[in-house]
Amino acid sequence: MGKDFNVVGTRLPMMDAAQKTKGSALFTDDLILPGMLYGRVLRSPLPHAKILNIDTSKAAKLSGVKGVVTGNDIPDRQYGIVPMAKDEYALAKGKVRYIGDDVAAVCAIDPEIAEEALDLIEVDYEELPAVFDPFEAKKEGAPVIHEGIKNNTSFAIKKEFGDVKKAFAESDAIFEDTFFSQAVNHAPLEPHAALAQFDPLNGELTVWSATQIPFFLRRNLSNTLQIPESKVRVIKPKVGGGFGQKIDMFAKDFCAAWFAMQLGKPVKFVYEREEVFISTRQRHPMYITVKTGLKKDGTILAQQFQSYADGGAYNSTAPTMMALSCFFLMIPYKVPNLFYEGYHVYTNKPVGGAMRGHGIPQARFAVERQLDLMSARLGLDPAEVRIKNSIHAGEPHSAGFVINTCGFSESVKKAADAIGWSEKRGKLPHGRGVGLAGASFPSGVSNMSHISSGAVVQVGRDGAVNVLSGAADIGQGAETVISQIVAEELGVPLEDIRITAADTGITPLDPGTFGSGVTVRAGNAARLAALSAKQKLFNFLADKLEANVADLVAKDRKIFVKGTPEKGMTFLEALKAYQYADLPMPIVGRGSWMAPADEPTTLFKQDGNFAPNYSFMTQAAEVEVDLITGRVKLVRMVTAHDCGRPINPMLVEGQLEGSVVGGMGQALYEDAIVQKGQMMNPSFLDYGFPTFLEMPEIEAIEVETDDPIGPYGAKEAGEGTQLSPAPAIVNAIYDAIGVDFMELPVTPEKILDALEAKNKKG
Amino acid sequence: MRLPKFEYFEPEDLKAAVAILQKEPAAKILAGGTDLLVNMKHRVECPPILVNIKRIADLDYIRQGDGDTRIGALTSLKRLHVESLIVENFPGLAQAASAVGSYHHQVMGTLAGNICQQNRCMYFNQSKWWRSTRPTCYKAGGEICHVVNKKEICYSAYCGDMAPALMVLNARIALEGPDGSKEMPIEDFFSGDGKIPLVKAPAEILKEIIIPKAAADGISSYIKFANRESIDFPIVGTALWASENEKRYRVAFTAVDRKPVRGKQAEDFLNGKELSAENVKAASDLAAKSAKPVKTSVYAPSHKRRMMGLLLQNAVNEAKRRASE
Amino acid sequence: MKEAIELNINGDTYELLVSPNYTLLEVLRDKLGLMGTKRGCDLGACGACTVLLDGEACLSCLMLAVDARGKQILTIEGLAEGGDLHPLQEAFVQKGALQCGFCTPGMILTAKAILDEEPHATEDEIKHKMAGNLCRCTGYKKIVEAVMSVTTSSGKEV
């Protein structure tokens, strides 16, 4: 594969890395405006209750309090991140549906007074019966959480192709197993925050928000505040991690805007860590039953799934999450016959939303665990079974996915080799083991409307390049990756690029950071914009250099005719000539990009390609189980990873390393424990995600493919690698101690219980 | 989370500190602050006065005078696991100090502060808003214990790492009060009452910890079991002191009861015997009898009881490993 | 009752009127506009609020501002000299030891405290002493590499 790129494919520090090391990178809570007020949200202490009355008079009278607002005061406009599933009010109207639900808000001249004021708001509740388990919630007679939603099931998805019954009849073996994935919290280091400012003269609202979705946030603010989108500007400052938790509008966004509009003063809301745990989002707990029919050589003939997502009190991304969870059972293995039914069920608990992998980690856990279970039952090697069933590029896909590039089977071989599969699997001393698991993830989604991205590239006469992109960098380095693509296209180094991003008042549209679509979608848009600027320059230069436009090359700050780099001009000379020819400066290029699809469609109604391209990976784990304490140490995790061509290998590694530790947390350490609707461990102390001392050895192996759709051949690298660490680890635990775990997390207590049970059996 | 308002004093000496505490029994001592300030942000402790004793001279020392080792109350946990006198003579104490919280907690935290830490419970160590879901618990000023659903009793667990390590060394503590100084074995300092865990009058201040010379005649170890290797409080902590020559042993546990407890049953079995695998196993099986953990945390009491025995085995292995070095 | 105090921060002396119940973190951010020190949890469990007090790594969310009198306080803003990055900052940049950057100031200051005391600290020591600084983005690997790269430059002042 041609490695003749200058900027793309290079390990480069993020453009704002130095700023971040100096502490001068500004996050939302670092922004201050003159006269700024501070807001806090009052939350429900009850899981399900009618709001009979809210008395805010004492709070309003407290010296220093400038405003109080409740659900009674705000417009009757529900919102949601997915329009068809909108079911939330910014502040609860009529009733509260979980402990932590937003009830009222105050703002005051300083944070201490705001906190005091919360205590002075008196709410009369009439407690209602609550339900905390999705299976109980979907029964007839269960408490109704949202009016009109039968059986508390807000979303259901059914998908089938082929003939599952026939395929089962033809199978040599059929296995049915049920799995459970727990509630996990994203726990980004930066708490959710928003700062709003309103200009009463022109009626324009500006909101700085720690968000992954500036444009969707703008829309939701516009809808709920009942002002035109054109009057709302959302700006994303630096964001301190999101992982999906900063998708959605939250009370902090609405209430900051509300007070700013009412009072004509800037208002800032910052959530306490406890609020981030309880009142934002978490990964849906899911119960998944898989029934698989196989030939005795391990070939999958059919799979039947039943999946229940414990949704918590509101929908958030429910339809998207369930769709992803369903569709990503159809990849990376060939499943010729499939039946899937999935249900998103409300409960009176913290709300499930998008979290790194978005419904797929839970599905992957079920499938990858079952592959190992079945391999053991049939006496087959788990790695070989995966290779045998692997899909390949260019093959027709049962659901209509278009797989242009696929390094999956290669990734299985490479991961297995790297972990020492043949020397270790089944051969290590009791307490040590290896396991592996595969996965695939879309690079953004094709088949949903409004998923397009725009970019503008301006080349000034001094050679400096300005990029405008809507992309939301939340720490993954999106701005750097986009800038590298532009730099490559224009033949200049990264340091010549300046980027302004994620400001709905200035930058073109981009849906935001979710579904791992940024590099492909925003990257392609930026590439087209750079190309468009370059074309203008080339069209002009073609005459000057007496060449065809198609033969011109931009590289190393030079423009020359292919094959004769010594002849040509410098980038600066070219720009000067362009300017002196009375052509308008700066040179502006525009581009927008949407994934190719014959027509906008959703896969609920018909088959088709889900994403512009798909990443593939296999992760192999080596674990050591302390047989006395039951503690599992992830010693080493190898990821063999096909993300096409990585635009910035160092940033891709960063994603991978973070994913592995996050997946390890999900497997072994983390659990958002909810009892009777109340989260018992809403702190960094009690919700223990891994520290430096839990770090495994992490190794990344590139499986390079060159995707035709991705910019410079790139595919996603942000989420796929968090899909399979958990099953790889649990598969390795089986190898280590001969115990199969069907649920997460696998805690020392569970290990000891299992070992005791095993010893009793003899 | 904001701290509540309070009056603040920085007395220059212990006498002045005691005087303030005597005048206002609800006043609290501020040392490292890593325990108290968190509880104040949670509004489970709201002292009207904070008495910062860190500016009092001569409370930060490690001295070996007449054979006993004397440690000043304000000696940092970091110092305890760095100073060779402690590391060499009382390795279990150093281990415990390096196991407390994170490095930052060890820098800021003091030995006395760790000993005197407030008891813990998942219904108590929560914000004021979180706790408003149910009636205020007895420890926080209400009537009921949510762990056992009974009135006027508190089952909160003592979770300090240093106390058990000191108990197995037969350490004593010295208090300064309105009537002057007094000493007591550290075990007697803990009441076993979750609501008021320490046996001291409001105006008494822990000023010194004394480790008797004889403690250096054995090997000590401290094994902490927690969810992660840093930051966390123990799920169970086990301290051991072993003199294989004399076949004398002392065992203590933390996070399993309302106070740190001696593993009497395990000790009684082991005393006079060799630390053979058989004996250690038998002692481990008895370990859980020393305490009755209840569900003050998300960890099951049965798991805690199981871990008491298993950690004792680990502590023995650790002590043996040390002995052979 | 507010007290007039002097705090020495990054070599500068600030005169402030503060209530005893203000934490050092609140004073740094809300009174002095020094935003580099971050509030991740406000309860001492994440290390994002780390500052150095007389060279020692402390959690500023659990310190009273009044209690910081008389100490040399170093925040992340005080690390780089003019336009030059401190070797630790440079190492973090080059090794890609940060993503969102929110934990980064705390990480760098803790690393500085460790290396100032122990310039040749081992990887194990570094991991143990930095374990109170949480990161959710990087998986820690590149942070360890960055800090180790500064230790092994033997002879250099850090």
Per the listing, tokens 């085995």 go with B313
Residues in chain C: 158
Residue A259: φ, ψ to 5°:
-65, -40
Mean pLDDT of A445-461: 82
Q: What pLDDT band is residue A397 in, cutting at 50, 70 and 90?
A: confident
Q: CB B133 to CB A752 under 8 A?
A: no
| Alpha-carbon dihedral A466, A467, A468, A471, rounded to 10 degrees | -150
Task: Name the residue type at position A39.
Answer: G
Q: What pLDDT band is residue A336 in, cutting at 50, 70 and 90?
A: very high
Name all chains with 3 or more CB-CB pairs below 8 Å to chain A.
B, C
Assigned token pair, B103: 């490095």
B285–A contact, CB cutoff 8 A: no
Q: Which of B153, B186, B183 is nearest to B171 (CA)?
A: B186
Q: CB B306 to CB A752 under 8 A?
A: yes
Mean pLDDT of A611-627: 94
B2–A contact, CB cutoff 8 A: yes
Residue A602 has pLDDT above 80, yes or no: no
Optimal mutation site among A101, A683, A684, interface B, most CBs of chain B within 10 A: A683
Of C19, C42, C63, the CB nearest to B5: C19
Which residues does C43 contact at the CB level (< 8 Å), separation at least 6?
A273, A683, A684, A685, B1, B38, B41, C61, C62
DSSP state of A665: I
Q: Which of residues 102-141 of C touch A (CB under 8 A)?
A: 102-105, 108, 126-128, 130-141
Q: Which of B158, B200, B194 is nearest to B73 (CA)?
A: B200
The pLDDT value recorded for residue A515 is 81
Say if residues A196 and A260 touch (Cβ distance below 8 Å).
Answer: yes
Question: If DSSP codes are grouped into helix, strand and coil, which group holds residue A715?
Answer: coil
Residue A624's alpha-carbon distances to A187, A427, A432, A613, in angstroms, are: 27, 13, 5, 36
Mean pLDDT of A517-522: 88
Per the listing, tokens 């997390």 go with A745
Residue of B nearest to A46 (CA): B133
DSSP letters along A539-607, please? HHHHHHTTS-GGGEEEETTEEEETTEEEEEEEHHHHHHHHHHTT--SSEEEEEEEE---SS---TTTS-
Q: Which of residues 16-75 of C touch A (CB under 8 A)?
A: 29-30, 33, 35-43, 45-46, 48, 75
Residue of A nearest to C49 (CA): A189
Q: ipTM of this predicted complex?
A: 0.97
Mean pLDDT of A648-654: 94
Q: Which residues of A672-703 are buried (b: 16+ CB within 10 A; e: fewer)?
A: bbbeebbbbbbbbbbbbbbbbbbbbebbbbbb
DSSP letters along B62-82, please? EEE-SSSEEEETT-BHHHHHH
DSSP state of C84: B
Residue A2 has pLDDT above 60, yes or no: no
Residue of C nearest to A700 (CA): C141
Residue C3 has pLDDT above 70, yes or no: yes
Residue A594 has pLDDT above 90, yes or no: no
Instruction: Indicate the range of A641-650, C64-73, C116-125 predicted with least confidence.
Output: A641-650
Quote the percentage of chain A above a pLDDT of 90: 85
Q: How far is CA A156 from the centre of its chain?
A: 22
Q: CB B107 to CB C19 under 8 A?
A: no
Query: pTM score, two decimals?
Result: 0.97
DSSP state of C54: T
Of B2, B130, B300, the CB nearest to A115: B2
C145–A contact, CB cutoff 8 A: no
Give A43's contacts in chain B (Cβ within 8 Å): 129
The pLDDT value recorded for residue A598 is 64
Assigned token pair, A435: 């396991």
Say if residues C88 and C111 touch (Cβ distance below 8 Å).
Answer: yes
Q: How far is C7 from chain B (nearest CA, A)?
A: 16
Say if residues A527 and A489 touch (Cβ distance below 8 Å).
Answer: yes
The pLDDT value recorded for residue A246 is 97
Say if residues A192 and A755 touch (Cβ distance below 8 Å).
Answer: no
Q: How far is B108 from chain C (nearest CA, A)?
A: 6
Assigned token pair, C118: 């122990």
Of B2, B130, B231, the CB nearest to A691: B231
* Distance separating alpha carbons of residues B294 and A17, to the nearest angstrom: 48
* Distance separating alpha carbons of residues C112 and B88, to the nearest angstrom: 28
Residue C155 has pLDDT above 70, yes or no: no
Quick one: angle between helices A382-389 and A360-378, nearest 10?
A: 120
B30–C contact, CB cutoff 8 A: yes
The pLDDT value recorded for residue C152 is 63
Q: Mean pLDDT, consecutive 10-residue segments, chain B of 325 residues?
A: 96 97 96 98 98 97 93 98 95 97 98 98 98 97 96 97 98 97 98 96 96 95 97 97 92 97 95 92 92 95 95 91 82
Optimal mutation site among C5, C21, C49, interface B, most CBs of chain B within 10 A: C21
Residue C157 has pLDDT above 80, yes or no: no
Say if residues A183 and C129 touch (Cβ distance below 8 Å).
Answer: no
Q: CB B2 to CB A690 under 8 A?
A: no
Q: How far is CA B277 from the centre of its chain?
A: 29
Assigned token pair, A157: 């998805």
Highest mean predicted confidence (pLDDT) among A163-177, A399-413, A450-464: A163-177
Optimal mutation site among A686, A687, A693, A750, interface B, most CBs of chain B within 10 A: A686
CA angle B226, B229, B231 (to 5 degrees): 85
The pLDDT value recorded for residue A567 is 79
Say if residues A516 and A522 touch (Cβ distance below 8 Å).
Answer: no
Report the mean per-residue pLDDT for chain C.
95
Q: How far is C99 from chain B (nearest CA, A)?
A: 23
B127–A contact, CB cutoff 8 A: yes
Q: CB B298 to CB A680 under 8 A?
A: yes
* Distance separating alpha carbons of residues A395 and A363, to the nearest angstrom: 23
Give the DSSP H or E segment for B36: helix B36-41
Residue A305 has pLDDT above 50, yes or no: yes
Task: Name the residue type at position A379.
Answer: G
Q: CB A26 to CB C35 under 8 A?
A: yes
C153–A contact, CB cutoff 8 A: no
Residue C35 has pLDDT above 70, yes or no: yes
Optimal mutation site among B1, B38, B103, interface C, most CBs of chain C within 10 A: B103
Half-sphere exposure for A660 (CA within 13 Å, toward CB): 31
Residue A739 CB coordination number (10 Å): 17
The pLDDT value recorded for residue B6 is 97
Q: Which of B59, B58, B30, B32 is nearest to B45 (CA)?
A: B30
Q: How far is A680 from chain B (nearest CA, A)?
A: 7
Residue A7 CB coordination number (10 Å): 23
Quote the percentage of chain A above a pLDDT of 70: 97
Of A673, A684, A749, the CB nearest to B303: A749
Mean pLDDT of A384-388: 97
Of C75, C102, C131, the CB nearest to A189: C102
Q: CB A25 to CB C101 under 8 A?
A: yes
Residues in chain B: 325
* Distance separating alpha carbons of residues C59 and C106, to the nearest angstrom: 9
Give B225's contacts in chain A (Cβ within 8 Å): 629
Residue C139 has pLDDT above 60, yes or no: yes
Which residues does A41 contact at the CB level (< 8 Å), separation at least 6?
A102, A103, A104, A105, A251, A252, A255, A269, A271, A275, A279
Residue C11 backbone class (left: φ over 0; alpha: ψ -120 to 50; beta: rest) = left
The pLDDT value recorded for residue A255 is 98
Q: How far is C61 from chain B (nearest CA, A)?
A: 9
The pLDDT value recorded for residue B83 is 96
Q: What pLDDT band is residue A341 in, cutting at 50, 70 and 90?
A: very high
B102–C contact, CB cutoff 8 A: yes
Give C112's contacts in chain A (Cβ within 8 Å): none
The pLDDT value recorded for residue B321 is 87
Say if residues C46 and C40 touch (Cβ distance below 8 Å).
Answer: yes
Pairing of strands A65-70, A173-181: unpaired
DSSP letters along A11-63, please? ----TTHHHHHHT-SPBGGG---TT-EEEEEEE-SSSSEEEEEEE-HHHHHST
pLDDT in tens, A399-422: 888 899 999 999 999 999 999 999
Task: Name the residue type at position A268.
Answer: K
Q: CB C20 to CB B50 under 8 A?
A: yes
Task: Name the residue type at position A94.
Answer: G
Give A681's contacts in chain B (Cβ within 8 Å): 122, 298
User: Between these two residues, A375 and A604, which has the higher pLDDT value?
Assistant: A375
Say if residues C7 and C23 touch (Cβ distance below 8 Å).
Answer: no
Name all chains with 3 or more CB-CB pairs below 8 Å to chain C.
A, B
Mean pLDDT of A361-389: 97
The pLDDT value recorded for residue A450 is 62
Say if residues A466 and A500 touch (Cβ distance below 8 Å).
Answer: yes
Report the mean per-residue pLDDT for chain A.
94
